Every structure is written in structure tokens, then in C-alpha cells.
Amino acid sequence: MIRFEHVTKGYPDGTVAVDDLSFEVAEGELVTLVGPSGCGKTTTMKMVNRLIEPTSGRILLDGEDISTLDPVALRRRIGYVIQQVGLFPHKTVLENTATVPHLLGWPRRKARERAAELLDLVGLDPATHGERYPDQLSGGQRQRVGVARALAADPPVLLMDEPFGAVDPVVREHLQSEFLRLQQQVRKTILFVTHDIEEAVRLGDRIAVYGSGRIEQFDTPATVLGAPATPYVADFVGSDRGLKRLSVTPIESDDLEQPPVVRLDDSAPQAARRLADEGARWAVVLDGDGALHGWVAADTLGEGAVRDHARRMEAWLPVGASLKRAFSAMLQHDAGWIAVLDGDRFLGVLTPGRLHVALRRSVGAGLRDVARAQVELETVPGA
């Protein structure tokens, strides 16, 4: 969808902001560009909407060389969100959001309807917030208007330059979660600049880690954290990269252990004998429909049915949740294992041992992907 081919940007004073950059962003993919200040992230992004022209190389959008396109028409195909938001102070939130549809010549009513729909999508009530002016909103709300405005004309591509940089960490995390949810719905092709590695791994399908003017590694968050390509990347992602990896690795059904399972209506003495035979100290308890009810300890199984002795499960997780959530739930409930469900269906339990295996699996899987990434990076000398 967006392809950089040997793109270099040099300035007359000899500064090389971006040096022979080659990479590709697939349709519907969110790529985060991360690196220290001055490494060329913003330059990379601004070359896509031609706010900056490369010195050499070319950028293709959907196969078309963007240098052959009219810059104004090009920008209307590309949503742009920046940290300072850049809302027009004398226009209402609704008018701000409708800016691009208006420029595209949409009828006024249609543009306003679209703007209201978008405000709703980013979590702002158009009736309450739509008629306000930007200075009557909080910083987080202004960022959301910025995102809504960028999406208004439904551009296939979004460029986002530290869009959540100006808000406090709590609001920021909230905006990131909402943004991820939104991206699930709209599936735009996104280049997202940040200097925050946490944000980069949380949001990116893939991450480009920048050194000075060059990409040092371009891969999935799990691989960048699990197998940094260079000492520079290892240093940049931080010594706690193992912990960060927990948050980008999902629980898969293959990671789970299968403990003994009993049903609520089973006879308790029979269940006790079975657990004793299997040498198990506890079992998961399912109801008649196979949905998770809770668990039962072998040494508490007396007379009657399992339901008379079973305890409700305090915590469980959906398959696909992050290992970080699993680990955090184990700590919070002081539990040695956590049940994992697919909808209502019980899949198995995650234990600390399996969690470790899952972490190693995520790096292995990431490494298998490296072949693909190398193909894309092979034209970048030294990367």
C-alpha cells in the first residue's frame, strides 16, 4: 500500500534526515515508527503526503509514484493527525470534523452527518460536544476530534505524528485502547510516529525502530522485543523487554494445560476417587452445558454431588488475551493457574510453566517471520 524505495532526504547544510530507506506497509496495517528525537521519523512521514520532498528515491502509494500526483489531491486521500491537533479555534467541533468533506465539495448536510457519525465513533457525543469550540474541550477530547477529522473523508491512509503525545499517561493509555478498538473497525493503513517504545509495541502490527536516519529493525513487536536485531535496538527497547513482551503475546489454545474436568452433577465420591487415581489435587468444574462453573479441591469432595463442594471461579480470561493479563490475574488472585475460555467454552488452564513456554513460542514464531522482513529490508544497506 505504501512503499518506500531507496528514499533519502538530505538538507543543504549536510544533514541527512533519512538515508536510503526501503520498506513497505501493507493495506490495513498499522506500522509504528519509533526512535529517539531527530532520527528521521517525522521526515519519513511528511514525505508520504509531500509536505517534504525526498532528495532521491521514490514513494509509491497503491503502486502510484506520489511525485507524479497533485499534492493537494494526494493529501485528501491521506488523513493526518498531529500532536498539536491544529483544530480551527473559531470553528465548532462539528465544523472542524467536517473540514475535509467540505473541501471535497460534499453537500453541507451530508458533511455534518458524517462528522457527527465520526465524533460518535471516537467516543464524543455530537449533541453535547459538536457545538462547542476547541478551547472548551479537554486535551484528550481535542485529540479525539483530531482523529475524527482525519477519518472524516474515509481516507485509506492515516499518518499520525505523536497524536497522543500531549496528554497525561492515564488519558494516553485510554486513548490508545480506544484507538485500537477503532482501528479494528476501520482497518486503515497507518504510519504512526512515536518516541515511546511502550506505545509502539502496544499499537503496531509491526514496528520500525530507527537509528540515525535508518531503520535498525522492522518487525513484529514480539520479535523486536524477543530478538532485537542489533545491540542498539536491544538498548532502545530496554532491559525490561522480557516484561514488555508479555503484553504483546496472546494466549493461544496450544499453550494450555488440560486439568481433570468434572461436572456439577457428577457424584462427589466418584469424582474424588477419579482425582485420587489421577493424582490430581483439584479439578475444573463445568456445568451441564460445558460452560465454566468453577473448581473443586480433591480433599474437600465429601458426600452428594460435585455442586455441593464446588467453588466459583474468581478469574478467567478469553483466549487471545495477553500473557500480561494472565500473569497479572494470577498475581491478583494469588492463583497458580488461570482458566481460559473461548466464549463460554472452557479451553484449558494457563500455568506459570506454560506461560514461560508461550513466551518462548512467541519469539520462535517471530523469528520465523524474520525471513519475510529481511526480504523487505534487503535493499537497506546495513539494516
Interacting residue ranges for ligand ATP, rule: CB under 6 A: 11, 13, 15, 17, 35, 37-43, 195
Q: Which is nearer to ligand ATP, 44 or 351 (CB)?
A: 44
DSSP letter at 66 equals G
Compute the least distance from the CB of residue 362 to ligand ATP, in Å.
28
Q: Which is nearer to ligand ATP, 179 or 210 (CB)?
A: 210
Measured distance CA(197)–CA(35) in Å, rounded: 8
DSSP string, 307-349: GGT-EE-S-EEETT-BHHHHHHHHHHTT-S-EEEEETTEEEEE
Q: Which is nearer to ligand ATP, 15 or 128 (CB)?
A: 15
Give the three cell numbers for residue 90.
473559531
Compute the least distance from the CB of residue 42 to ligand ATP, in Å.
3
> From residue 382, how far is each of 32, 75, 210, 282 by CA, in Å?
21, 32, 12, 55
Q: Which is nearer to ligand ATP, 13 or 303 (CB)?
A: 13
The identity of residue 194, as a single letter, is T
Give the three cell numbers for residue 232.
542498539
Neighbours of 224 (CB within 10 A): 32
Compute the least distance from the CB of residue 37 to ligand ATP, in Å.
3
Compute the least distance from the CB of residue 92 to ligand ATP, in Å.
30
> From residue 348, how far is each of 67, 334, 345 by CA, in Å?
54, 18, 9
Compute the least distance from the CB of residue 17 to ligand ATP, in Å.
3
Compute the least distance from the CB of residue 250 to ligand ATP, in Å.
30
Q: Which is nearer to ligand ATP, 78 or 124 (CB)?
A: 78
Q: Which is nearer to ligand ATP, 46 or 245 (CB)?
A: 46
247 neighbors 230 (Cβ within 8 angstroms): no
